[in-house]
Structure 1
Amino acid sequence: MCTSCGCSGDGKASLTDLDTGETRSAGFDEHLNHRGSAHHEHGHAHRHDEAHDHAREQGTTIMLEQALLAKNDHLAMHNRAWLADHNILALNLVSSPGAGKTTLLERTLCELAGAIPISVVEGDQESVFDAERIRATGCRAVQINTGTGCHLDAAMLARGLDELAPPPGSVVMIENVGNLVCPALFDLGESAKVVVLSVTEGDDKPMKYPHMFRAARLMLLNKLDLLAHVDFDLERCIGYARRVNPQIEVLALSARTGEGLDGWYQWLRASASTQRRTQ
């Protein structure tokens, strides 16, 4: 049981290689991956405080939350060290269901083909639909199905990276399960979280889900092509986001029409370049 959210973390997550069709376990209880010990650790003690605040019960529930997050953070540390050693930029794309993550990924992969080597880890509770859409662009992708779980965890990403074997200096896009709650608490070892918020969802989401927007480096305001048809105040939304995270970067775009995508591509190139220079 995932005590942070109540979803079933029963070890029944599965990973599917779209090239071979092979499916195997990708659960949290898989053994520590073979990449070896981390060379440097980035502190994540604040996640335990967030888990403590999130808990509604006392005693055993809080202890289980802390143990689960501590185990996850240990595995995330190994993922982060491996990615750093290989100069790989890993971005954890998070959003509510239907915000447009997969459409954004499809267009990004097509328009940056040959410019930036990108591979994708797709996370969903069931189905391989999104991974098949990504694979149709020519990009290497693996699908992780979490079953009843509502988020990816560090062990699942470790298995996904083992399967992908991304080349040094490349970018790995992690499309997390559609959920603005638990993915904020579970570090995967990524370089940054990118939260995608569509204008159809309401401009108050950063205040309703502050942990997610506090954890994100970048907020992408998607579906600008629908802005004239909905009651959404861009400036108010950006103000709310910066109230919970003064350092968050913000880009507005439409994955469908292409408006604003140049800014996203520039950010992506700059982040990949910075990742290589700092290692």
Structure 2
Amino acid sequence: MKRDVLLANKKFAAQNRTVFYDENVFVINLLSDAYSGKTTILKRTIEQLKDVMTFGVIEAVKAASTERISIQNVQSVQINTQGACQLDAKMIAEVLPHFTLREIDMLVIENVGTLNDPEPFDLGEHVNAAVISTVESAEKVIKHPTPFEHADVILLTKMDIFPYTGFDLKEFRENVKQINPDAPVFELSAQSGEGFKRWTKWLKESWVAQTQVKDFDWT
């Protein structure tokens, strides 16, 4: 049964990847536990890059919700996973027709809030980003390693309150180095803006490298 599920997901992920390539859309999948601050990080990221690229957002919830991410001039769709702990490629494929993809440079998938599950489904994305906050434990990287092992980038959020949380930053960095030494790590605060210059620079470079962007103006 598990093999059948993975094979079906692989088929839809391949279809999604073809659509993203044909429409020249760069896709990032955000994974985190609840209350990590990923929505706030997403909003600030879009705000800082809105003059450079256009965004779309797929927002996942485990139950029906009237709360929607509200960002001016950003196409967004909400997926109710009916209690499922993560999105799969078929769910993504079903909502893509709701977007005008030719008008989007970067599509952000804000996945269901949990890092405690097995390997995340391939959605056809270009980049997986694992998000953890300073109100959590640095041990989470070791206790629930799979999302971090498969991450292309790791975001540590809520750095503005880091001095008051008791978060062990040294342990966190050592754990990440042990689990996924090749993944860049960005320490961010959506409140102060700390770390966003480096993070958005990396995001722009990844967008250019993995899409058909021509003559990009870096100014």
Task: Please indicate, yes or no, whether the TM-score normalized by the shorter chain is above 0.5.
Answer: yes
Distance 1:146 1:183, change over 3 A: farther
- Measured in 2, the distance between the counterparts of 1:129 and 1:263 equals 34
- 1:61-110 C-alpha deviation (Å, 9 max, x unpaired): xxx11211121111111111221222211000000000011111111222
Q: CA deviation at 1:128?
A: 3.8
Are the aligned partners of 2:26 and 2:107 in contact in 1 as well (CA < 8 Å)?
yes
- Map of 1:80-229 to 2, 5 A cutoff? 80-131=17-68, 134-167=69-102, 170-182=105-117, 184-229=119-164
Equivalence map 1:45-56=2 (5 Å): none
* Structure 2 partner of 1:230: 165
Distance 1:140 1:169, change over 3 A: closer
Instruction: Establish whether residue 73 from structure 1 lines up as the match of residue 17 from structure 2.
Output: no
Q: In structure 1, what is the Cα distance between the partners aligned to 2:213 and 2:49?
A: 23
Q: Looking at both structures, which has the greater relative contact order when contacts are Cα pairs under 8 Å and sequence separation is at least 6?
A: 2
Provide the C-alpha distance between the structure 1 equivalents of 2:41 and 2:117, rounded to a whole number of angstroms: 22
Cα distance in 2 for partners of 1:243, 1:218 equals 15
Letter in 1 for 2:62: Q
Alpha-carbon distance, 1:168 to partner: 6.2
The amino acid of 1:119's aligned partner reads G
Instruction: Give a deviation string over 1:215-259, Cα, whole Å, max 9, x none.
Output: 100000000011100121223212212211221110101012211
Q: Determine helix, strand or coil for the equivalent of 2:113.
A: coil
Contact residue 96 and residue 179 of structure 1 kept, 8 A: yes
Return the alpha-carbon distance in structure 1 between the equivalents of residues 71 and 212 of structure 2.
Answer: 32
Counterpart of 2:28 in 1: which secondary structure?
strand
Q: For the residues of structure 1 that align with 2:50 and 2:118, how far apart are their CA atoms?
A: 28
C-alpha distance after superposition, 1:102-146 (max 9, x if no partner): 111111222222321111000011244552xx3343311000011
Root-mean-square deviation (CA, aligned residues, Å) is: 1.9
Provide the TM-score with structure 2 as the length reference.
0.91
Q: Deviations over 1:168-195 (max 9, x none)?
A: 6710000000011337331111111101
The yes-or-no answer on 1:266 pairing with 2:208 is: no
Q: Summarize the Cα distance change of 1:140–1:278 in structure 2 as closer, same or farther, 3 Å threshold.
A: closer
One-letter code aligned to 1:195? A
Higher CA-based Rg: 1
Distance in 1, Cα, partners of 2:195 & 2:34: 22
Secondary structure class of the residue paired with 2:57: strand
CA contact (8 A) 2:54 2:103 kept: no
**Residue 135 of structure 2 aligns to which amino acid in structure 1?**
T
In 1: Cα distance, 2:208 partner to 2:118 partner: 26
Q: Unaligned 5+ residue runs, structure 1?
A: 1-63
Give the Cα separation in 2 of the matches to 1:177 and 1:214.
Answer: 18
Partner Cα distance (1:144, 1:120) in 2: 11
The 2-side partners of 1:124 and 1:107 are apart by 21
Percent identity over paired residues: 35
Q: d(CA) in 2 for partners of 1:130 and 1:195?
A: 23
Equivalence for 1:243: 178
Deviation at 1:167, TM superposition (A): 1.9
Runs (5+) with no aligned partner, structure 2? 215-219
Structure-1-length-normalised TM-score = 0.72
